[in-house]
Amino acid sequence: MFYSNEHEPIHVHGKYQGMESKAELIIIDGKVVDVVIKNVTGRPPLESSKQKEFRNFVTLFSDQIVQKWVDYFVYHKSIQCIRIEGKIK
């Protein structure tokens, strides 16, 4: 998820049982080349296993995340949440 008052760099937040971390997308020449997990000030970070799952998820869906970020923050379009069920590998 991202909050409606976000800022660059492009990033999303992952929450699980009161813990929260954010994943920054590193973009070079218009392509996501890395995902960096960072702590969120004032929140306990995701446990390492959940951070790994979060990073894998963001990496897998990075193109869609960037598109939704641009649509919302640059073009001010309404966006729809996507429900993803099942395990992500």
Across the range 68-88, mean pLDDT stands at: 87
> What residue segments make up the domains of the chain, in order of their start?
11-74
The predicted-structure confidence for 37-59, as pLDDT tens digits, reads as follows 999 999 999 999 999 999 999 99
Residue 1, pLDDT score: 85
Query: Quick check: 48 and 67 in contact, CB under 8 A?
Result: no
Q: How many other CB atoms are there within 10 angstroms of residue 69's CB atom?
A: 19
Residue 61, pLDDT score: 94
Alpha carbon separation from 9 to 4, 6, 18, 28 (Å, rounded): 14, 9, 24, 12
Residue 75 in this model has a pLDDT that exceeds 90 = yes
Instruction: Please give the model's pTM, rounded to 2 decimal places.
Output: 0.89
Q: What is the rounded distance in angstroms from the CA atom of residue 42 to the CA atom of residue 33?
A: 28
Across the range 71-83, mean pLDDT stands at: 90
